[in-house]
Amino acid sequence: MSARRAYPMRDPAADGVPADLCPIATALNPMQPGDWRSLRPVVDRDKCVKCAVCWLYCPVQCVVERPAWFDIDLATCKGCGICATECPHRAITMIEEVAG
Partner 1 sequence: MTMAVREAGTAAATRPRHIVCEGNEAAALAVAMVRPDMLSVYPITPQSSLVEHLAKLCADGRMDAEIVDAEGEHSVLSVLQGAALAGGRTFTATCGPGLAFMFEPYWRTPGLRLPIVMALVTRDGITPQSVWGGHQDAMTVREAGWIQMYCETVQEVLDTTIMAFRIAEHRDVMLPVNVCLDGNYLSYGAARVTLPDQAGVDAFMGERNINWHAALDPLRPMAVDPLTGGSGGKGPAAFLRYRKGQCRGMQNALRVITEVHDEYAARFGRAFAPLVERYRMDDAEIALVTLGSMTGAAKDAVDEARAAGRRVGIVKIKTFSPFPVEALAQALAGVGAIGVVDRSVGFRWNCGPVFQELLGVLYRLGRPVPAASFIGGLAGADLTVEHFHAVIARTAALLGGDVPDGPIWVNEND
Partner 2 sequence: CPTGALRYVTTARIYNEVGDWEDLFAPGLAGCQGCNSELVMRHALRRVGPDTVLATPPGCVPGMGSVGYNGLTGTKVPVFHPLLTNTAAMLAGVKRQYKRVGRDITAMAIAGDGGASDVGFQSLSGAAERGEEILFLVIDNEGYMNTGMQRSSCTPYGAWTSTTPVGRETKGKSQDAKNLPLLMVGHRCAYVATASTAFMQDFYDKLDKAIAASKHGFAYLHVYSPCTTGWRFPTERNIAVARTAVETNFVMLWEFTPHDGLHFTHPIESPRPVADYLKAMGRFRHLTDDQIGHIQAKVEENRAVITQIAAGAAAR
32 binds partner 1 (CB under 8 A): no
Give the DSSP H/E element, type plus range, for residue 86.
helix 82-86
Dihedral sign (CA 60, 91, 80, 30) = negative
14, 18, 31, 67: which one binds partner 1 (CB under 8 A): 18
Residue 54's H or E segment, with its range, is helix 53-57
Q: Which is nearer to partner 2, 43 or 79 (CB)?
A: 79
Q: What does 14 bind: partner 1, partner 2, none (CB cut-off 5 to 8 Å by kind)? A: none
Residues binding partner 2 (CB under 8 A): 1, 3-7, 9, 25-33, 36, 49-53, 55-62, 65, 73, 75-76, 78-82, 84-86, 88, 94
C-beta of residue 41 within 8 angstroms of C-beta of residue 77: yes
- CA triplet 67, 1, 88: central angle to 5 degrees? 40
Least separation in angstroms between residue 38's CB and partner 1 is 26
> What are the residues binding partner 1 (CB under 8 A)?
6-10, 12, 15-26
